[in-house]
Amino acid sequence: MEGERGRGFRNQRTYETMVGAGEEAAFHSRYERALERFAQSLEGRNVHESIIDGRAVATGRYVTDTSPIDTELVIGEFSVGGKREASSALAAARRAFQTWSVMDLDKRLAIFRKAAEIMHGELFELAAAITFDNGKNRYEAVAEVDEAIDFISYYTEAMGLRNGFQEAMPPAFPGERPAVAMRPYGVWAVLCPFNFPISISTGMLTAAIITGNTAVLKPSTPAPLAVHMLYDVYERAGVPPGVINLLSGSGAVAGEALVSSEKVDGIAFTGSKEVGYRLLASALRRHPIPVIAEMGGKNPAIVTEKADLARAVAGVAASAFGYSGQKCSACSRAFVHELVHDEFVGALLKHLARLPMGDPRERATFMGPVIHRKAVEAYGGYVAMAAKDGIVHVGGEVAKGGSARGFYAPPAVVTGLPEGHPLLKNELFLPILCVQRFTDLKDAVRRANDTDYGLTAGIYSRERDEVRFFFENIEAGVCYANRARGATTGAMVGSQPFGGWKGSGSTGVGSGTALYLMQFMRQQSRTLVD
């Protein structure tokens, strides 16, 4: 069985691979056929229940999920769980833990390989569902499913190569045979975000259960469908009942009932800093429990006078406005040297004017909707604040695909805000980029660090000493230099660990690495005397 381990991880990169093979037309046709099939599936009533111990649990209470593309597109009705369902799910996970945690490693890893195969075979169906449910364009949606597959494949390989993180140790005394084993904690609550409902959810869930834990998985309210589809993938791959339990419902009710329970041994969370801090504060119970929280960012890009401006414009635009700025790694601040500031802003506005905005189902669309009405309202408030205290530049026109019922907000570029302004400090999670001038790189880095967050950051400079200074002094967990594909976004599993410093992350360890897996286990020293 050893040969099954460590077969060589490779990132999926579906779009790039198909284009390179001359199959771009096939990429679009497969995605568009999946869109058609998904649209047809919406014609009936789609009810999605919570799933506990392998069985659907009807609560009789439902919330209707509609598409941000067009609110008349009903994705489905999702059950609303509460304390009773949370307690039942945790109890089922506890029972399943007894056998799952001691399952033979090779048998367990075979299940995950099967899950990756299933997900790969249904990649376009999953991507189409994401587009409908949270508004991503086809390129972002397919890339997200790619990342989910990458998480499963990479973590499977990491567990196999390291024999489940067990190793013999050198003896201190004759006759002793010491060893170290990493052992699972027990039952984890896994709280999923709306913006990456399949990839981040897969990353957190897979890390929890591949290391021998069991889990209760809670989807986000705005975009729950992909998490239900993820559960289905793992069920068909052979994960036994109770290892994963799915609890639908609001964060205030279902989520709170789950994370506040004494039956929870660990919490994995992706979401706001405010919620993450509350979870961290609650971690000291009868026994302290681990909380692995990724809590967003206020991510800066620095453009020096020695930058390749074309590359900087492309990278900043991609990171600031890709998926409507609704990524925790989105570039929300750009510090531009005064000698190139006006040229950069002018080029950025021209670049944005060429990027189509509108219905993400259309092939050419770069930026689709924001997630819900509250986001549109927040956007309006922020832009009004920016217009009052600075200058607002809006690039491009919003196309709504013939529908005025979706939640669309155009990209906003803001200049001239005073230091300390709320828009420069707070995570907005919207397509708003604040551009500030600087004259000295040290001062730019200092100002970039002057925030509670520390997730991602980027720099554009042809001068190696400037890049070196940036890497050594920026307070962020994920850093890039001169990246045209994204100033602050686009970390790849197995290549760029994704995790934040300061208020952006609770552990300082990034996902997509073997170290990330170790957080879901605790160390046990075992010494046998002959």
Give CA separation, 488 vs 12, 268, 329, 456, in Å.
Answer: 21, 23, 6, 6
CA distance 320 to 316: 6
CA distance 270 to 198: 12
**Closest residue by Cα to residue 269 from 291, 287, 254:** 291
Give yes or no for a contact between 165 and 99, defined as CB atoms under 8 angstroms apart: no
DSSP-derived secondary structure for 264-332: --EEEEES-HHHHHHHHHT-BSSSB--EEEE----EEEEE-TTS-HHHHHHHHHHHHHGGGG-STT-EE
Query: What secondary structure letter does DSSP report for 69?
Result: S
Two tokens, residue 524: 């046990």
Two tokens, residue 183: 């052992």
Query: What secondary structure letter does DSSP report for 417?
Result: P
Give yes or no for a contact between 473 and 445, defined as CB atoms under 8 angstroms apart: yes
CA distance 151 to 270: 16
Collect all residues with Cβ–Cβ distance below 8 Å to 148 and sequence separation of at least 6: 119, 126, 198, 199, 201, 202, 203, 230
* 192 in catalytic set: no
Two tokens, residue 487: 């100033």
What are the beta bridge partners of residue 434? 333, 414
**Closest residue by Cα to residue 246 from 220, 213, 271:** 220
CA distance 20 to 268: 37
Give yes or no for a contact between 50 and 85, defined as CB atoms under 8 angstroms apart: yes
Q: Which helix (H) or strand (E) holds 169?
A: none
Find the catalytic residue in 140, 144, 235, 294.
Answer: 294
Collect all residues with Cβ–Cβ distance below 8 Å to 121 and sequence separation of at least 6: none
* 294 in catalytic set: yes
What region, left, alpha or beta, does residue 314 occupy, with left being phi > 0 and alpha being psi -120 to 50 degrees? alpha
Within 10 angstroms of residue 479's Cβ, the number of other Cβ atoms is 17
Angle between helices 24-41 and 138-161 (to 10 degrees): 100
Find the catalytic residue in 192, 328, 331, 434.
Answer: 328
Two tokens, residue 306: 């020695």
Q: Which amino acids are annotated catalytic?
A: 294, 328
